[in-house]
Amino acid sequence: MKPNPFSQDLTDYILSGHAFLHCPTTEKTRFLSELTTIAESMPDDGRQIFTWSHAAGWLNGDGNAPADVQIGQPDPQKVPQEILELPEASIFVLKDFGFYVQPKGYSYADVVVAWLCEIRDVLASSGRTVIFLGPDFDVPAALANDVTTLDFPLPGDAAIEKSVRFVMDGQTLDESILPSIVSACRGMTEQQVEDRIALALRRFKTLNTGAAKLILHEKADLLRRNGLLKYLEPPPGGMSLIGGCEAVKDHIRRDKTCFGEDAQAFGIDSPKGIMLVGISGCGKTEISLNAAAELGMPLIQFDVGAMMSKWVGESERNVREALSQIEAMAPCVVQMDEIEKGFGSVGSDGDSGAGMRAFGTVLKWMSERTCPAYLVMTSNDVTRLPPEFMRKGRIDEIFGICLPTEAERHEICRIHLTKRNRDPEVFDLEALAGATNRLTGADIEQVIITGLKLAFHAGDELTSEHLLQAVAEVRPLSQTDPDRVAAMTQWLEQHTKPAGASFSGTCRSRSSSNGCGRKRQVEV
């Protein structure tokens, strides 16, 4: 059995004499349960645990007031002195104590902080450790160098299964459905797991596939409350719904085999993911969505735009919580769409510093994560991104997606006709692929939609003539903004790996009209 990294870290910090620790979690009951196990396993018959809250005051490990020390009514000002009256070589957990160290909230916060500073050396020399427990704890400047923060991970599979069996309480459990239930519960707190299992039992009387879907729906609602994450149902079909981009497809299919214990035993780390860069409308977002179906993983959308907004970006806590949830839900695919809208302003004059801190938190996580969270990031304008964002080690490969070749356009037409319940074999796809030269995949989809409207308006069934007529009504980006397409193409050729066979088949010098009767050469 693998050691619990959090338990090991917490043990090391306590036994090495750290005076102040902070655990920003709302799962106080589960934390105290794990802390009790840790304390009992420590040398010299373990360590006692005392907890303090403004409601109950001091309680020992049995939930009773300490019998050997006379302590009055709960008073935050007296907490530091009272710690010194309690036994040495003990652990003191202060619940939701952040309010009492901030002058904005508590008039005597300066007194509390001053006393904490005074007792710091005494704590370290007497084997006492204070743990500030709760998310709303901003470390005072006077203690900035003395408080170590430890993130308490969300329940793992074993803990989730334990909660499931606890709620079932002797009811018959179909063991074959248990993995699906555990997977659906990943990323929830222990209380959220128990509540959703109870809801599923109320609704279905047992745990089945319907219960798993209900839990996923509930988890989607929970993720939306964070404001950064959203659970999406992966579209069926996987990479078969993507026209062209064979190099990207091959990369994702190869990565699919590199997850799991066999790959790790072979010396392969979990794949980090990919970045898709290119012209708008060429399928980057569709690839990021379909990658989850291809890999057989849940799909989590990370809204980087919301992360960098002034409301969310003011606090790194929301970002840390989102990343913690992602790790708990792994293996999963994490979609970061149009990342330049979020990270493009980092370091600008309008950035108060909160954006830079949030950006640094994400960068560090991208580099150091070991969980199987597969990132698929997209960008239409990568030149707006900080250069350190694209360093190898944070992602595995950067693919450039240019205008589709004729063969790719043929495939894209076939896919979109099939999605709309039309038999591609009855259409002249060769003529349509030729007519849609220099159109993006999104443009071609619009051609199909417009052709359907033309046929429906005329009271006819869709034909190739309707589609060819629709081509003339679409104004592609390569025509409306050729300079932008040319600049993007040049950057892709120099900095990225081709998403298809190569850029040579899609991006060549062609004569393009500027709309005034003159011709000019545009490198696209």
pLDDT tens column, 99-124: 999 988 899 999 999 999 999 999 98
Domain 238-243+265-401: CATH superfamily, name plus number: P-loop containing nucleotide triphosphate hydrolases (3.40.50.300)
CB 274 within 8 A of CB 395: yes
- Average confidence (pLDDT) over 204-209: 93
Q: Within a 10 A sphere around the Cβ of 435, how many other Cβ atoms?
A: 19
Instruction: Return the pLDDT at 32.
Output: 95
pLDDT tens column, 256-295: 999 888 988 899 988 999 999 988 888 888 898 899 989 9
pLDDT tens column, 63-83: 888 876 667 788 999 999 999
Instruction: State the Cα–Cα distance between residues 351 and 336, nearest whole angstrom.
Output: 21
Q: Tell me the two tokens of residue 35.
A: 């802390």
pLDDT winner (highest mean) among 106-110, 136-140, 520-524: 106-110
Q: Which residue, 130, 149, 124, 150, is CA-closest to 139?
A: 149
Q: Which residue, 506, 441, 425, is CA-closest to 477?
A: 441
CB 47 within 8 A of CB 55: no
Instruction: State the Cα–Cα distance between residues 217 and 210, nearest whole angstrom.
Output: 11
Q: Which residue, 397, 421, 359, is CA-closest to 499?
A: 397
- Length of the chain (residues): 524
CB 43 within 8 A of CB 170: no
Instruction: State the Cα–Cα distance between residues 38 and 41, nearest whole angstrom.
Output: 5
Is there a cis peptide before residue 331, judged by omega within 30 degrees of 0?
A: yes
Instruction: Return the pLDDT at 69.
Output: 67
CB 233 within 8 A of CB 333: no
Give bridge partners of residue 513 from the DSSP assignment: 519
Instruction: Return the pLDDT at 519.
Output: 36
Q: Is 439 helix (H, G, I), strand (E, B) or coil?
A: coil
Strands, DSSP E only, in 323-447? Answer: 332-336, 373-379, 397-401
Q: Residue for token digits 């790996």?
A: 497
Rounded to whole angstroms, what are the CA distances from 390 to 205, 276, 305? 49, 11, 18
This prediction has a pTM of 0.76
Instruction: Return the pLDDT at 95.
Output: 96
Class of the CATH-defined domain 406-478: mainly alpha
Instruction: Return the pLDDT at 521.
Output: 34
Average pLDDT, the chain: 86
Instruction: State the Cα–Cα distance between residues 502 and 275, nearest whole angstrom.
Output: 17
CATH 3.40.50.300 given to domain 5-149 = yes
Instruction: Return the pLDDT at 342.
Output: 75
Instruction: State the Cα–Cα distance between residues 221 and 209, nearest whole angstrom.
Output: 19
Instruction: Check whether 406 has a pLDDT greater than 50.
Output: yes
Confidence band of 48 (pLDDT split at 50, 70, 90) = very high
Confidence band of 385 (pLDDT split at 50, 70, 90) = confident
CB 98 within 8 A of CB 136: yes
**Do the first three CATH levels of 5-149 and 406-478 match, i.e. the same topology?**
no
Rounded to whole angstroms, what are the CA distances from 13 to 17, 40, 131, 321? 7, 15, 11, 22
- The pLDDT > 90 percentage for the chain reads 52
- Average confidence (pLDDT) over 513-518: 36
Q: Where are the domains of the chain?
A: 5-149, 157-226, 238-243+265-401, 406-478
Rounded to whole angstroms, what are the CA distances from 386 to 228, 356, 376, 381? 21, 11, 18, 12
